[in-house]
Amino acid sequence: MSKQILVFPGDGIGPEIVAEAVKVLEVANDKYALGFELSYDELGGAAYEKYGTPLADETLERARAADAILLGAVGGPQWDNLDRPLRPEMGLLKIRSQLGLFGNLRPALLYPQLAGASSLKPEIVAGLDILIVRELTGGIYFGSPRELRTLENGERYALDTLPYSESEIRRIAKVGFDMARLRGKKLCSVDKANVLESSRLWRAVVEEVAKDYPDVELSHMYVDNAAMQLVRAPKQFDVVVTDNMFGDILSDEASMLTGSIGMLPSASLDANNKGMYEPCHGSAPDIAGKGIANPLATILSVSMMLRYSFGQLEAADAIERAVGNVLDQGLRTGDIWSEGCQKVGTREMGDAVVAALRNL
Binding of ligand NAI by 278 (CB under 6 A): yes
Q: How far is the CB of 306 from Mg ion (least distance, A)?
A: 19
Judged by beta carbon distances under 5 to 8 A according to partner kind, the member of ligand NAI, Mg ion, none in contact with residue 76 is ligand NAI
CA geometry: angle 1, 9, 346, nearest 5 deg: 110
Q: 74: number of CA atoms within 13 Å, CB side?
A: 28
Closer residue to Mg ion in complex, CB, 20/278: 278
User: Quick one: what does residue 103 bind among Mg ion, ligand NAI, none, with the CB cut-off 5 to 8 Å set by partner type?
Assistant: none
State in angstroms the smallest separation of the CB of 56 from Mg ion. Answer: 20
Is 275 a binding residue for ligand NAI by CB under 6 A? The answer is no
Contact between 278 and Mg ion by CB under 5 A: the answer reads yes
Helix (H) or strand (E) holding 342: strand 342-343
Nearest distance in Å: CB 44, ligand NAI: 7
Q: List beta partners, residue 275.
A: 68, 269
Question: Is 192 among the residues known to form the active site?
Answer: yes
Please report whether residue 261 would count as binding ligand NAI according to CB under 6 A: yes
Nearer to ligand NAI, 274 or 281 (CB): 281
Residues shown for the chain: 360
Of Mg ion, ligand NAI, none, which one sits near residue 293, judging by CB under 5 to 8 A according to partner kind?
A: ligand NAI
Name which position in 27, 74, 172, 190 contacts ligand NAI (CB under 6 A).
Answer: 74
89 contacts which partner out of ligand NAI, Mg ion, none, CB within 5 to 8 A by kind? Answer: ligand NAI
CA dist 332 → 163, 260, 304 (Å): 44, 11, 22
Q: Is residue 217 part of an annotated ligand binding site?
A: no
Residue 178 appears among annotated catalytic residues = no
Cα 125 from chain centre? 20
Residue from the set 18, 24, 56, 73 that interacts with Mg ion by CB under 5 A: 73
**83 belongs to the binding site for ligand NAI (CB under 6 A):** no
Whole-angstrom distance, CA of residue 60 vs CA of residue 66: 10
Residue 8 vs 213, nearer CB to ligand NAI: 8
- Determine the Cα–Cα distance for residues 106 and 157; give it in Å rounded to an integer: 34
Residue 283 in marked binding region: yes
The amino acid occupying position 237 is F
Q: How far is the CB of 3 from Mg ion (least distance, A)?
A: 22
Active site residue 50: no
**CA distance linking residue 97 with residue 282, whole number of Å:** 19
262 binds, among Mg ion, ligand NAI, none (CB under 5 to 8 A by kind): ligand NAI
The residue range among 72-80, 82-90, 232-240, 287-295 that interacts with Mg ion, by the rule CB under 5 A, is 72-80
CA 310/CA 54 separation, integer angstroms:
28
How far apart are the C-alpha atoms of 153 and 138, rounded to whole Å? 33
The set of residues, in sequence order, having a beta carbon less than 8 Å from that of 18 and lying 6+ positions away, is 7, 8, 9, 10, 70, 71, 72, 298
168: Cβ contacts below 8 Å, ≥ 6 apart: 102, 135, 138
Q: Under 8 Å CB-to-CB from 48, ≥6 apart: which residues? A: 54, 79, 82, 86, 88, 91
Residue 86 marked as a ligand binder: yes
Give min distance, CB of 298 to ligand NAI, in A. 8
> Could you give the 3-state DSSP secondary structure of residue 76?
coil
Annotated catalytic residue within 41, 248, 270, 335: 248
Residues classed as catalytic: 141, 192, 224, 248, 252
Binding site residue list for NAD(+): 76-89, 282-294
Binding site residue list: 76-89, 96, 106, 134, 224, 248, 252, 282-294
Q: Which residues contact ligand NAI by CB under 6 A?
A: 17, 73-76, 89, 92, 261-262, 278, 281-287, 293-294, 297, 335
